[in-house]
Chains A and B, each alone.
Chain A
Amino acid sequence: MTMSTVTAGYDRVVRTLCQGCHCDCGVLAYVKNEKVVKIEGDPNHPMNEGSLCPKGLSATQFLYHPDRILHPLKRAGERGEGKWQRVSWDEALDYTAGRFNEIREKYGPQAISWSWGDAAHQSCLWSKQAWLLGMGSPTHWHSDAHYCYHPLLIANRTTFGNYSTSEEGLDYRNSKSIFLWGGNPVMSHPTRARDVMTGLKRGAKLIVIDPRFTELAAKAHLYLPIRPGTDDALAMGMINIIICEGIYDRDFVENWCIGFEPLRERAREYPVDRVADITGLAAQDIVKAARISATVTPCVHHGRMGVQQNRNCVQTNRAISILLAICGSLDVPGGHVSKSNKPRGFKGVFHVVDSRDELRLPAEIEDTRIGAQEYPLFSGAESLAVSCAHPPSVVHTILTGDPYPVKANWFLNDMAVCLEGQRETYESLLALEFTVGSDFFMTPTMEICDIILPPTMWLEKDGISEVFYNIGEKDLIAARQKVVEPLGETMDDAMMDLEIIRRMGMEVPHGWQTPQDFFDYQLAGMKITFEEFKQIGYIEGEVIYKRYETEGFDTPSGKVELWASTLEKHGYDPLPYYVENAVTPVATPELTGDYPLNLISGSRHIAYFHSNNRQIPWLRELEPMPYLDIHPETAEALGLEEGDWAWIETPVTDDRVKMPVRLTRMVGRDVVHAPSHWWFPETEGPEHGCFQSSINLVLTNDGPYGPISGASTLRGVLCRVYKVEEG
């Protein structure tokens, strides 16, 4: 839609949606001479209300970056040699479809897979799923699925039974106490940070549980510098205190929860002194946190990557979900609105890809997916987590052919720096027979592709955003619309998929010809077309609280399952518990002599999303290098000064990585923090420095994995740090 009031100096202003991260903020794009010259937050968008983060504000530098890949490219030399031949779309698509068909005939459909790991490609989940369904291949993997969104889904769905998770449905704006567990939304979810600050302005208490003294820790009423990887113990300890002191919501627990007695018994194993020992926190602070959660209500508990990237993450999330329930904060204003309140009749993309009457694969095929036997609730036919393959196992499978060959992969983002066990991951990429890439720049992964099909970025395409649009008091859908014609010959991801499906000789579901046909399909139940929706911009659903009173919870018992029957059915512990990570001062004290520090990694920076944006000048300027955060006293003892380069080694891989040192009290004396996903577009290909500073080189993909989602541990691994001697 073109705004009626055109600001002086511009030809038109177009309302659309950013896709720099999962927030999908509303923006106004200012166009002059068919060029986007400025992006600003849309004051009318219900999520960001006019504000915008650096990623959105730098989008013109992304769109018009001189290094963007603008034409289909076919490898002309050896893989990784950097020799490319520009080809037409017809040739590129026919070649790609032909190679896929060859591999399908030779090895079977499961030998063909796709992978992603950044927000910019979320809009083709449905079309990639249609492609998999057409072939009958269950193989697709996301670089961080096993320790990101998916464990949250499993935990929340086994506890209170639906999609909304700690990443969604939390009504920070109206909450009375806000708990951030291992999450720093200032850097990872800017709109959520904004909502937290709105909550604070309205008088909420803020409790931050994090080994790092983050931006929001600086605003907190209570800061708990927890020992990395022990959130499960803290959550159990808080449950114990809340039950012992009788300050839980008795009415809700009696009427709407099952398994309270077994939970009480389990929680008794976590007396406050033991929890203080495990977590390194002061007992009185743990008690204080528990009392705030139970008495300053409604509360919200936001559990993010610091919680997820540990092998016990599903159980930790379970314990946090239970806190929400027993503190009476489910489905109330200011709490966690666990049910979706999207506009009636709208078909969400996760519904489409995850329902068997839509695009979900048949159960017997899903049960052959890599990881399905080991992690059925994550990868199998009964998955509660938008079923996908277990990433480290896919890497192993590519290299071993066990249980079946995987020979081709369509990469939507960089995979070289985005997965633990980087050496082996990279080796697996090279071992593939056929590699297709659809990314914006020549990343280390694009460099080793056989063919590159360049996608449009968000300013050049249409779409519907909805997935992370539930903030409790609001739940909406919004329209993304093309602002300018695609640069060069870039093509919408989803359009490519439809083309490939057709050229492989398969049927497109419902005869969808274009992505817009799919959007019309999503909106049909609302009796509007996508064209009409673009004019409207966004539509909010009616938020109904306490829906469980009429509908029950979507669990087998219809109640909140403190004692989770679904987990029991699959042979897991139905009650949450604490387990120590594998390589820590507690688990492996014998290693602390050689490896005295605790490494945490993977915290986000607002300039970046996973491996993206290192080539965008205004963003790179904000965080130019992968700084290793280290306490000044620890650095001094190691002979390190600000700006020195330091090596980091762990006992779990044979590699080492180097990073420039940043002295800061954000971390305690025994913790160092390393950023993740680093490569250097400015350095030579094909590797672009991906073996220099990527922390995934010193983190293992060999387990031990968490039993439910197969999570690896990226937080709380023993390490040593020493100066890089010059020369």
Chain B
Amino acid sequence: MRKVAFLNDIDLCIGCFACETACKQEHNLPVGTKWMHVVRVGPVEIDGRLVMDFVPMHCRHCENPPCMQACPVDAISKRADGIVLYDEKICIGCKNCIEACPFGAAQYNPDVQRAQACNLCYERVDQGLLPACVQNCPTQALIFGAPEDYTKQRREKVAHTFLHRRYPEAPGLL
């Protein structure tokens, strides 16, 4: 089975919160619980110039998920396509996974008193749809697909910047 990846292109993220709210709606999350969170970094001053980034921080669906190892009741599993799933029926709400996640992506949902994390909208994915956040992102900053698709896309983008450097009049990459 092809592995899926959930990645992002921070050059394109404009910090508009569409992904956060789409996720809230799709999974009916209460205030405070964020499976998707775009962190604003900066502005900071570097050599007299301001820079600022928006970094989508979501579950990376790790190959060897630390949360899964930390769960004492095996509530966390990994599908063949790579999607990491938290099972609310098994979860005891101990928060070990929250402690273990290096990205802060595992979340506590006070409404159901269970740990949760991005499930990559697997129900949508199984129907051939994009995850809600990816669907509603206005700039295609969120990328869902096979890891090899992503690397191909990234290579083409970087190659285009080389072209731009040599020929500033050349069109950008769409």
Contacts of A51 in B (CB 8 A): 18, 135-139
Contacting A665 at CB < 8 Å: which of B20, B21, B42, B173? B42
Whether B16 is near chain A, meaning CB under 8 Å from some CB there, is yes
Whether A106 is near chain B, meaning CB under 8 Å from some CB there, is no
Whether A618 is near chain B, meaning CB under 8 Å from some CB there, is yes
Whether B17 is near chain A, meaning CB under 8 Å from some CB there, is yes
Whether A60 is near chain B, meaning CB under 8 Å from some CB there, is yes
Whether B151 is near chain A, meaning CB under 8 Å from some CB there, is no
Contacts of A190 in B (CB 8 A): 16, 18, 138
Given contacts A52-B22, A606-B17, A664-B43, contact A197 B139 (CB under 8 A): yes
Contacting A215 at CB < 8 Å: which of B16, B18, B129, B164? B16
Contact A58–B26 (Cβ < 8 Å): no
Docked complex Cα distance between A58 and B15 (Å)? 17
Which residue of chain A lies nearest to B15 when distances are taken between CB atoms in the complex?
A215
Whether B80 is near chain A, meaning CB under 8 Å from some CB there, is no
Given contacts A197-B12, A215-B15, contact A665 B54 (CB under 8 A): no
Contacts of B30 in A (CB 8 A): 617
Which residue of chain A lies nearest to B41 when distances are taken between CB atoms in the complex?
A218
Docked complex Cα distance between A647 and B12 (Å)? 37
Contact B135–A213 (Cβ < 8 Å): no
Given contacts A40-B135, A665-B45, contact A53 B16 (CB under 8 A): yes
Contact A41–B25 (Cβ < 8 Å): no
Given contacts A194-B139, A203-B171, A665-B44, contact A621 B31 (CB under 8 A): yes
Contacts of B11 in A (CB 8 A): 219
Contact A617–B31 (Cβ < 8 Å): yes
Docked complex Cα distance between A618 and B53 (Å)? 23
Contact B173–A201 (Cβ < 8 Å): yes
**Shortest beta-carbon distance, A575 to chain B, in Å?**
35
Which residue of chain B lies nearest to A191 when distances are taken between CB atoms in the complex?
B138
Q: How large is the interface on A (under 10, 10 to 19, 20 to 34, 35 or more residues)?
A: 35 or more
Contacts of B170 in A (CB 8 A): 203
Whether A57 is near chain B, meaning CB under 8 Å from some CB there, is yes
Contact indicator per residue, chain B 32-50, by CB within 8 Å of chain A (1) or not (0): 1000000000111100001
Whether B115 is near chain A, meaning CB under 8 Å from some CB there, is no
Whether B132 is near chain A, meaning CB under 8 Å from some CB there, is yes
Whether A223 is near chain B, meaning CB under 8 Å from some CB there, is yes
- Near B by CB (< 8 A), chain A positions 197-239 give 197-198, 200-204, 213, 215-219, 223
Whether B64 is near chain A, meaning CB under 8 Å from some CB there, is no
Contacts of B54 in A (CB 8 A): 215, 218
Docked complex Cα distance between A619 and B31 (Å)? 9
Whether B51 is near chain A, meaning CB under 8 Å from some CB there, is yes
Whether B91 is near chain A, meaning CB under 8 Å from some CB there, is no
Contacts of B132 in A (CB 8 A): 40
Contact B25–A194 (Cβ < 8 Å): no
**Shortest beta-carbon distance, A489 to chain B, in Å?**
27
Contacts of A191 in B (CB 8 A): 138
Contact B16–A193 (Cβ < 8 Å): yes
Docked complex Cα distance between A190 and B16 (Å)? 8
**Shortest beta-carbon distance, A624 to chain B, in Å?**
9
Which residue of chain B lies nearest to A49 when distances are taken between CB atoms in the complex?
B138
Contact A622–B50 (Cβ < 8 Å): no
Contacts of A223 in B (CB 8 A): 50
Which residue of chain A lies nearest to B141 when distances are taken between CB atoms in the complex?
A197
Docked complex Cα distance between A8 and B123 (Å)? 10
Whether A683 is near chain B, meaning CB under 8 Å from some CB there, is no
Docked complex Cα distance between A591 and B54 (Å)? 39
Contacting B21 at CB < 8 Å: which of A54, A198, A203? A54
Which residue of B31, B43, B170 has the most chain A CB atoms within 10 A of its CB atom?
B43
Whether B95 is near chain A, meaning CB under 8 Å from some CB there, is no
Contacts of A57 in B (CB 8 A): 18, 21-22, 24-25, 136
Binding site for B on A (CB under 8 A): 7-8, 38-41, 48, 50-54, 57-58, 60, 186-187, 190-191, 193-194, 197-198, 200-204, 213, 215-219, 223, 606-607, 617-622, 664-666
Q: Show 7 A/B contacts (Cβ-Cβ < 8 Å), sorted by A.
A: A39-B25, A53-B18, A53-B21, A54-B21, A57-B25, A190-B138, A198-B174
